[in-house]
């Protein structure tokens, strides 16, 4: 089955052919998944609540901070005026990202100068809800995968470096 993450008919077809559904990607449409789960009764062991955090960069950063984990400085940006304010607060360099739906550079804009701000304001996407993040220099990016089974056994997979 090849379809978009929000294709309810395709997800229903997958659910009807499966004993359970899991996801490892934050761009799964949580409303569609909830409806399909209720309609088909398919087991979704991770639940859907996790997606409310991971599918929204603002929710995700606030969740991390609430749990004592550091994040880069950030600001919600819902309009060109808010971008100007956020840039004044955070400075350069920064990166503007869609709050949801963007991935691997899609839905992201480098904001490294006043010219970048001007260019962004001139081509402001309709209904853009974004987050401006202070850019952080880092040595490497890693991924940590953790899983838990129905008996609450937790498994930590080997840490991997993203390249």
What are the pLDDT digits (tens) for 100-158?
Answer: 987 777 899 999 999 999 999 999 999 999 999 999 998 999 999 888 877 889 999 99
Domain that holds residue 110: 72-134
Same domain, 76 and 112: yes
Please tell me the pTM assigned to this model. 0.83
pLDDT tens profile 66-95: 999 999 999 999 999 999 999 999 999 999
Placement of tokens 């929710």 in the chain: 59
Judgement on whether residues 94 and 43 belong to the same structural domain of the protein? no
Q: How far apart are CA 21 and CA 77, in angstroms?
A: 34
In terms of domains, do 90 and 48 share one?
no
Count the domains in the chain.
Answer: 2
Q: Say if 20 falls within a structural domain.
A: yes
* Residue 127 forms part of a structural domain: yes
- Residue 106 is assigned to a structural domain of this protein: yes
The answer to whether the beta carbons of residues 98 and 44 sit under 8 Å apart is no
List, as one string, the DSSP characters of 52-100. Answer: HHHT-HHHHHHHHHHTT-----EEEE-SHHHHHHHHHHH-SSEEEEESS
């Amino acid at each position: 089955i090849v379809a978009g993450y929000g294709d309810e008919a395709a997800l229903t077809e997958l659910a009807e052919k499966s004993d359970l559904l899991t996801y490892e990607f934050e761009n799964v449409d949580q409303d569609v998944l909830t409806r399909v789960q209720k309609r088909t009764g398919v087991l979704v062991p991770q639940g859907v609540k996790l997606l409310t955090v991971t599918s929204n960069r603002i929710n995700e950063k606030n969740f991390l901070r609430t749990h004592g984990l550091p994040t880069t400085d950030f600001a919600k940006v819902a309009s060109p005026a808010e971008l100007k304010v956020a840039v004044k607060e955070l400075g350069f360099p920064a990166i503007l990202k869609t709050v949801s739906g963007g991935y691997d550079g899609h839905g992201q804009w480098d904001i490294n100068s006043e010219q970048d701000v001007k260019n962004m304001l001139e081509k402001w996407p309709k209904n853009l809800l974004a987050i401006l993040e202070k850019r952080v220099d880092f040595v490497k990016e890693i991924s940590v995968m953790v899983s838990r089974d129905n008996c609450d056994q937790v498994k930590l997979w080997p840490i991997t470096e993203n390249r």
